Amino acid sequence: MGNYAEEINKRRTFAIISHPDAGKTTLTEKFLLYGGAINLAGSVKGKATARHAVSDWMEIEKERGISVTSSVLQFEYDGFCINILDTPGHQDFSEDTYRTLMAADSAVMVIDASKGVEAQTRKLFKVCVMRHIPIFTFINKMDRDANDTFELLDEIEKELGIATCPINWPIGSGKGFKGVYERASRSVITYADTEKGTREGHATRIPIGEDAMLTEQIGEEYKVQLLDEIELLDGASAEYDLEQIQAGELTPVFFGSALTNFGVEIFLRHFLKMTTTPLPRKADSGLIDPVEHDFSAFVFKIQANMNKAHRDRVAFMRICSGRFDSGAEVKHVQSGKVMRLSQPQQILADERKILSEAYAGDIIGVFDPGIFAIGDTICMPKEQFIYEGIPTFAPEHFARVRQVDTMKRKQFVKGITQIAQEGAIQIFQEFNTGMEEIIVGVVGVLQFDVLKYRLENEYNVEIRLENLPYEHIRWIENKEIDLDKLTGTSDMKKIKDLKGNPLLLFVNQWSVGMTQERNEGLVLAEFGRN
């Protein structure tokens, strides 16, 4: 068991969240650079010939320069084994991000220094708060003109409702960016624009008392301003409190520039000191301890056709406890099947590494023969428990899907069903028909584009989408209700999901309440459960 505990305690598993363009992908790459996982950081939106970001692998992502799926990256640094879950920044993929956050023990929130808290950050942040996971803030792009630092902190506190504790403090921004002041050591670390994409920077550390040296390095004006700000800061900001940080009530804040590599390693070192080892997780039998318990995991993501040559489906699992051995038999709790997990691997973008073992905190991808669903639990054959489910977001946009070539019915049904099993889209049928009439629901409209693109590229099926006016969907909690006798409103539509569960679609919000009033005992829910 000793080896077990040691391996598990080395693990740190976190997700990176941000609004699009805040520099999340660049930051992820710089982490990999420090861990020696890659030797050269690529650029996401460079010229056509430029190397694409390591974590973006789907063609549509490369074309649009956005991350639409979460990838999992592992690297070692300073005796730690770090698992990064990169998430889609675009709000149309917030559901994928939500599920990814279920697999993380903490979150790093990247904020653009010139834009502050943006809409998407707010939404994702709420998910972190719901889970009470620690949140670390990296204010990026200090090499560009930034907003006032106090205003940035004030905005985080007001908008997100969490106290901030700056660990370091920026000196100037844009062309005038001089470096950061590190509060704990009371010293200034100077900034030199390093060669892009390399690890070596030329940082000088100057104790705050070294007056002459400080003036020489950052100039009299910046020095005076810094001393004033330190005084203000020491009086006004929240005290550093590790317990509060780990409870998700206080966010440590760091400043830097991922593009030019300044502040990234400083952040990484502090982050590793403040984060915890893998945390126990809730199951229907109580809390499952990562070290004390045998192997268990849950599926948080399914991705089809990651490799065109293989036409495969990969189920991503977060290992919650114990050690995984590739040859061992495990139980898929939902189906009751005992099996060996096939082709267990770790994935760095589209490169794969077959694994023989992994530990609590790690993320593994396994070949999915079509039996796994999001939220499923895997454990040892003699055990029987289920990890708490992952809620399904209510789609906000709906469209009827028609295939252009009716002869390709089989590919169409297979493709749309597989993409739905990944959780990117939800598919429904008209209440009294089979698969002839398919309605697709998505959280964000960009997912319609991805659906169209993927059906054409991966399944060779062309589709037409006809937008529907519905905006509100409700699951019917009490299944005994007779849908044929339900009295609805004129803008209501009855549908069912793939499992045959009845649902209602509405154009107007007020129709939801009216339908409940007209049907005594009807219980409608905004969330489905995986």
pLDDT value at position 65? 47
CA distances (Å), 125 to each of 107, 274, 443, 489, in order?
9, 19, 17, 36
- pLDDT band at residue 278, thresholds of 50, 70 and 90? very high
Are the C-beta atoms of residues 394 and 503 closer than 8 Å to each other?
no
Q: What are the tens digits of pLDDT across the range 357-380?
A: 899 999 988 888 878 888 899 999
pLDDT value at position 272? 93
Are the C-beta atoms of residues 489 and 519 closer than 8 Å to each other?
no
User: What CATH number is given for 281-379 in this structure?
Assistant: 2.40.30.10
DSSP letter string over 75-99? EEETTEEEEEEE---SGGGHHHHHH
Angstrom distance (rounded) from CA 62 to CA 53? 9
Which SS3 state, helix, strand or coil, does residue 418 take? Answer: helix
**E strands in 129-213:** 135-140, 163-166, 168-171, 179-182, 187-190, 205-207
The architecture in CATH of the region 391-529 reads 2-Layer Sandwich (3.30)
pLDDT value at position 38? 53
What is the C-alpha R_g of the chain? 25
How many residues in total does the chain contain?
530
Burial of 240 (0-12, 13-18, 19+ CB in 10 A): middle
Q: Over 70: is that where the pLDDT of 37 sits?
A: no
Provide the token pair at 2: 């000793």
pLDDT value at position 194? 55
The structure tokens 């809409």 sit at 119
pLDDT value at position 246? 92
Q: What are the tens digits of pLDDT across the range 427-463?
A: 898 877 665 678 998 877 877 888 888 888 888 999 9
**E strands in 156-289:** 163-166, 168-171, 179-182, 187-190, 205-207, 250-255, 281-283, 286-288
For the ranges 69-73, 93-97, 123-127, 332-336, the one whose mean pLDDT is highest: 332-336
Least confident of 89-98, 159-168, 391-400, 518-527: 89-98
Domains 11-70+77-89+106-274 and 391-529 are alike in CATH topology? no
pLDDT value at position 94? 58
Provide the token pair at 99: 């599920």
β-partners of residue 125 are: none
Q: What are the tens digits of pLDDT across the range 188-204?
A: 998 776 544 455 556 67
Provide the token pair at 335: 């189906």
Per-domain residue ranges of the chain? 11-70+77-89+106-274, 281-379, 391-529
pLDDT value at position 310? 53
Q: What are the tens digits of pLDDT across the range 157-185?
A: 988 889 999 999 999 999 999 999 999 99
Q: Over 90: is that where the pLDDT of 69 sits?
A: no
pLDDT value at position 328? 92
Q: Over 70: is that where the pLDDT of 61 sits?
A: no
Helices and strands counted in the chain (H then E): 13, 33
pLDDT value at position 144? 92
Write down the pTM of the prediction: 0.78
Are the C-beta atoms of residues 141 and 259 closer than 8 Å to each other?
yes
pLDDT value at position 521? 85
Question: Taking all residues of the chain, what is their mean pLDDT, rounded to a whole number?
Answer: 82
Q: What's 11-70+77-89+106-274's CATH class?
A: alpha beta
pLDDT value at position 226? 92
pLDDT value at position 73? 78
- pLDDT band at residue 407, thresholds of 50, 70 and 90? confident
Angstrom distance (rounded) from CA 30 to CA 41? 7
Q: Over 80: is that where the pLDDT of 90 sits?
A: no
Q: Over 80: is that where the pLDDT of 408 sits?
A: yes
Mean pLDDT for 145-168 is: 92
Are the C-beta atoms of residues 67 and 25 closer than 8 Å to each other?
yes
Provide the token pair at 262: 């300044």
pLDDT value at position 351? 64
Mean pLDDT for 242-257 is: 93
- Classify residue 14 as left (phi > 0), alpha (psi -120 to 50) or beta: beta
The structure tokens 């792009």 sit at 141
The structure tokens 């399914």 sit at 302
Phi (first) and psi of residue 21, to 5 degrees:
70, 10
Q: Over 60: is that where the pLDDT of 224 sits?
A: yes
